[in-house]
């Protein structure tokens, strides 16, 4: 199944909240939300760029950027109404919205269900009350658990958005949040490292010296631990890191924090590095070779295994008392997320380690 989201960006000008990391109000002033009447044009334009409906294609029109169910009810109705002809024609298969956990109740969910919404992404951010409080989110972990339970009860697909590096957050808290999120059993997760954005409460804290953002390496390492735990439980990670939207690229918008345009790729490279280390050690333990070795990957994973500027190869070659890895070769027999290993001169792997096998060893 190939999934397509058709994004409709609705920055939330009227949001009554003041989350410490958020500059939606500024974005909304510069980029107003489209009127409901403009939405069909946006959707049709996007549909023209993706394959026509077929059994293996799933497309959702997706309202992002604000808290949909906190919008004026009439506007919610209008936004959903204009999508009904696309649903009736089968050109889209559903509607996705994102919202806050405290704007979910039975009447809201009944309304969304009746109007074709299929997926709800909740901006959860953390399952630690101290972190939620310090970030001025305005709800508690209990609210999140109740909202997620109701969303699943009604049969929606559930997405959970998490942030790492919020005020009061720590590695231990991020692992607790990961374990808590796994127990909620969402269909998908997004993980965003916190950035200090201009004109936010967090910028003030940062400039006063009361908040220190994560370093890029730290954020990659934490997100990798979360990514591997979600992957082990079969929970899809649909994004890591903010979309490098134009407004974030403008000079002076990101004040500090672990911004990288390919953050998710860095996290996946880190995962391959860990997996390669385990494979290398296991292979060496069995063979006890001191000649050079070669790794094998699926062709889609080649750059993830090599790493940015060959960083992963360099790391593996600095491990004490292990043989050198002379190179990485794509091999069609190797499945996605699997690694193979063999002598440097060979054209085929002698041993391999799937991601599932690696996770069993690494997370035991």
- Rounded least distance, CB 133 to ligand SF4, Å: 14
67 binds ligand SF4 (CB under 6 A): yes
CA distance 16 to 99: 13
What order of strands is seen across the sheet that includes strand 339-343?
Answer: 325-330, 293-297, 339-343, 351-353
Q: Least distance from C-beta 76 to ligand SF4, angstroms?
A: 15
- Least Cβ distance, residue 83 to ligand SF4 (angstroms): 22
Q: Which has the closest alpha carbon to 163: 202, 195, 130, 205?
A: 195
Q: Which of 10, 19, 184, 237 contacts ligand SF4 by CB under 6 A?
A: 19
Q: Select from 17-25, 47-55, 211-219, 341-349 the region that touches ligand SF4 (CB under 6 A).
A: 17-25
- Whose structure tokens read 């999934």? 3
Applying CB under 6 A, which of residues 10, 12, 102, 160 lies at the interface with ligand SF4?
A: 12
By beta-carbon proximity to ligand SF4, the closer residue of 16 and 209 is 16
* Closer by beta carbon to ligand SF4, 192 or else 358: 192
Q: Which residue has the tokens 């997620």?
A: 148
- The Cα–Cα gap between 31 and 24 comes to 10
Question: Could you give the CA distance from residue 118 to residue 121 in angstroms, rounded to a whole number?
Answer: 10
Rounded-to-integer distance, Cα 30 and Cα 19, Å? 19
**Angstrom distance (rounded) from CA 362 to CA 358:** 6
Site for ligand SF4 in 90-129 (CB under 6 A): 100
- Candidates 27, 39, 59, 66; binder of ligand SF4 (CB under 6 A) is 66
Q: Considering the complex, state which of residue 136 and residue 319 has its C-beta at the smaller distance from ligand SF4.
A: 136
Q: Which of 15, 36, 205, 319 binds ligand SF4 (CB under 6 A)?
A: 15
Site string for ligand SF4, 30-59 (x = CB under 6 A): ------------------------------
State the DSSP H helix or E strand holding residue 176, giving kind and residue range, or none if neither. helix 171-184
User: Could you say which of 18, 84, 183, 291 contacts ligand SF4 (CB under 6 A)?
Assistant: 18
Among residues 8, 24, 76, 92, the one that binds ligand SF4 under rule CB under 6 A? 24
Q: Does 22 bind ligand SF4 (CB under 6 A)?
A: yes
Place of tokens 């310090």: 134
Of 172, 357, 169, 160, whose CA–CA distance to 275 is shortest? 357
Query: Which of these ranges, 19-27, 258-266, 298-306, 337-345, lies near ligand SF4 under the rule CB under 6 A?
Result: 19-27
Residue 107: phi and psi, rounded to 5, are -70, -40
Minimum separation from the CB atom of position 194 to ligand SF4 (A): 12
**Which residues lie across from 188 on neighbouring strands?**
159, 236
Q: Residue 72 burial by CB count (10 A; 0-12/13-18/19+): exposed, middle or buried?
A: exposed
The number of residues that bind ligand SF4 (CB under 6 A) is 10
For ligand SF4, give the closer residue by CB, 67 or 298: 67
Give residues in contact with ligand SF4 (CB under 6 A). 12, 15, 17-19, 22, 24, 66-67, 100
């Amino acid at each position: 199944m190939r999934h397509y989201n058709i994004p409709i960006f609705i920055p939330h000008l009227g949001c009554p909240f003041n989350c410490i990391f958020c500059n939606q109000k500024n974005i909304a002033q510069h980029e107003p939300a489209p009127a409901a009447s403009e939405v069909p044009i946006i959707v049709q334009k996007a549909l023209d760029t993706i394959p026509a409906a077929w059994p293996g294609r799933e497309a959702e029109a997706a309202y992002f950027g604000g808290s949909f169910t906190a919008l004026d009810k009439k506007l919610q109705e209008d936004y959903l109404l204009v999508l009904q002809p696309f649903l009736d024609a089968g050109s889209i298969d559903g509607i996705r919205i994102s919202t806050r956990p405290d704007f979910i109740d039975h009447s809201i969910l009944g309304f969304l269900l009746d109007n074709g919404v299929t997926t709800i992404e909740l901006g959860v951010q953390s399952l630690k009350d101290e972190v939620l409080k310090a970030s001025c989110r305005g709800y508690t972990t209990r609210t999140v658990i109740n909202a997620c339970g109701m969303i699943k009860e009604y049969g929606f697909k559930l997405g959970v958005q998490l942030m790492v590096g919020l005020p009061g957050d720590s590695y231990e808290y991020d692992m607790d949040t990961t374990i808590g999120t796994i127990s909620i059993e969402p269909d998908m997760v997004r993980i965003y490292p916190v950035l200090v954005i201009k004109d936010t409460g967090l910028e003030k804290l940062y400039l006063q010296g009361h908040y220190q953002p994560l370093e890029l390496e730290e954020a990659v390492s934490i997100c990798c631990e979360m990514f591997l735990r979600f992957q082990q439980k079969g929970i899809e990670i649909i994004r890591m890191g903010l979309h490098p939207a134009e407004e974030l690229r403008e000079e002076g918008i990101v004040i500090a924090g672990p911004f990288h345009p390919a953050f998710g790729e860095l996290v996946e490279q880190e995962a391959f590095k860990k997996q390669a280390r385990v494979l290398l050690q296991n292979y060496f333990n069995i063979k006890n070779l001191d000649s050079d070795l070669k790794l094998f990957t699926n062709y889609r994973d080649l750059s993830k295994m090599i790493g940015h500027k060959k960083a992963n190869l360099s790391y593996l070659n600095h491990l004490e008392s292990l043989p050198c890895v002379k190179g990485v070769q794509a091999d069609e027999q190797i499945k996605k997320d699997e690694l193979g290993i063999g002598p440097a001169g060979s054209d085929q792997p002698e041993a391999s380690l799937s991601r599932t096998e690696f996770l069993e060893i690494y997370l035991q």
